[in-house]
Structure 1
Amino acid sequence: MHDQDRRSPSAGESGEHLAPVSYLPWVGSSDPRARSTAEDDVAAASDATGDEPEETGAERDERIDRLVVNRLRRSSLSVAEVRAVLVEHGLDDGEVEDWLERYERLGYLDDARLAEQVVHMQAVRRGRGSSAVITELTRRGIDGEVAHSAVAAIDHDAEVGNAVAVAERRARQLGGLDRAVAERRLTAFLMRRGYPSDVVREAVASALPRRPS
């Protein structure tokens, strides 16, 4: 396989900037007239035989590459997610590794960068705790060491601040409850959000301050 210069795609819907993406060089001519002529030839052959022409290796590569590229344009993918797409579409182990190596080398796939994006999205924008972020990274097939390294970058004070903000919003719905009941429910809620126990205690104490006796 030979490298070609690539063009930069637009950012994905989530606002995260992806590496430049275009179709792989082995998938046919860039000349639209040549492509049109080839398509006419295929159509003519189909009409003559009455059957759909068998897909060539180059046509298969183009189809799969278009699928992967379209998904990368919509959102970032992990190496594991792209591997699953390639396997699903019939590439053997050697072909899969060749395609993955190329996508990584050209900067289209980067699990460390993706892990940082997931941490920001889950922790900062969605108010989830570190254990919930680890679960999401694992679900997306991010290597454990890479995942824990990304989550370790979450500052403790920042995580407490996120938890307090989440707890205060939730506490507004618990105003009519006995304090002990409200504490239990708020604690359980924050634990489900993936916050560690020490962060939960600080957040609950802040969101449900004790009334003076």
Structure 2
Amino acid sequence: MAADNGGDDTLAPVIPLFGATDADSSADPRAKRVETTPQWRTTWDDDDLHDDLSSMADEVDECTQIEREIAERNLTRKLRTRQLSVSEARSVVAERDLDETMIEAVLHDFVRRGYLDDRALAEQLVRAGVERKGQGRTVIAQSLAKRKIPREIVDAALAALPDDDAERALEFARQKARSMRGLEHDVALRRLIGQLARRGYGAAAMDAARQALDELAQ
């Protein structure tokens, strides 16, 4: 490519290319220096400098494109194992040598294609917290914040939950109380309250623990 001549001239002696002849030299004034004796170039005219900078820009663009492709592959590999928030994905992409504009471009592309969706992830984590882990609002909110999901999305996902923390706390306490039959009441109460609190049933923990143990004693 023609743009390469300017860049190559800075690295090696000027030598005839593609069988240059005297006729070629007369057609191109700059070709007069293309003799049989190699010469090092130490200065550039404006055209040469422009060509050289263009060549450097092309090289940067190519390197940036390679870095972007690697970042996209790395992110795709991560997404095959678990869903990521946009913020978590940003950390993965930022491991490559990309500026902020390119990082945002990669993330925008993944969001556009549906590979990243903070709202869907928040809803998924809320369901898992409630149905599989028996967690209360506090712990669920902490889990979503740890995944760096924006606060407004967390609040919206939690607002969709029914206001049944007390019922779910009691259900959990009843399940756990069965394994504490042989313990003294105060010991069982403290353990049960601790387990409920760790799952985010702060205000409801005490009442649920007491009711579950009272039912067990009947």
TM-score range, shorter chain: 0.5 to 0.7
Amino acid at match of 1:63: I
Alignment of 1:22-37 (within 5 A): none
Tell me the residue number matched to 2:189: 183
Pairwise CA RMSD of aligned residues? 2.0
Identity of aligned residues (%): 37
Ranges in structure 1 where 5+ consecutive residues have no aligned partner: 1-54
**Whole-Å separation in 2 of the counterparts to 1:188 and 1:151:** 23
TM-score normalised by the chain length of structure 1: 0.66
Which of 80, 84, 109 is 1:77 aligned to?
84
Asked whether the equivalents of residues 130 and 194 of structure 1 are also in contact (C-alpha less than 8 Å), the reply is yes
- Superposed, 1:151-190 pairs within 5 Å as 151-157=158-164, 159-190=165-196
Structure with the greater alpha carbon radius of gyration: 2
Say which structure, 1 or 2, has more relative contact order (CA 8 Å, 6+ apart). 1
Amino acid at match of 1:187: I
In 2, Cα distance between equivalents of 1:59 and 1:90: 10
- What is the identity, as a one-letter code, of the residue corresponding to 1:183? L
Provide the C-alpha distance between the structure 2 equivalents of 1:110 and 1:164, rounded to a whole number of angstroms: 33
Q: What is the DSSP-based 3-state SS (H/G/I as helix, E as strand, rest coil) of the residue aligned with 2:145?
A: helix
Which residue, 144, 147, 168 being the options, matches 2:151? 144
Partner-residue secondary structure (3-state), 2:134: coil
Question: What are structure 2's unaligned runs of at least 5 residues?
Answer: 1-61
Q: Name the TM-score, length of structure 2 as normaliser.
A: 0.64
Q: 2:141 aligns with which of 129, 134, 140?
A: 134
Report the alpha carbon displacement of residue 202 of structure 1 after superposing the two structures with TM.
Answer: 4.2
Partner of 1:23: none
Whole-Å separation in 2 of the counterparts to 1:71 and 1:176: 46
1:64 to 67, 71, 75: 71
Cα distance in 2 for partners of 1:133, 1:155 equals 14
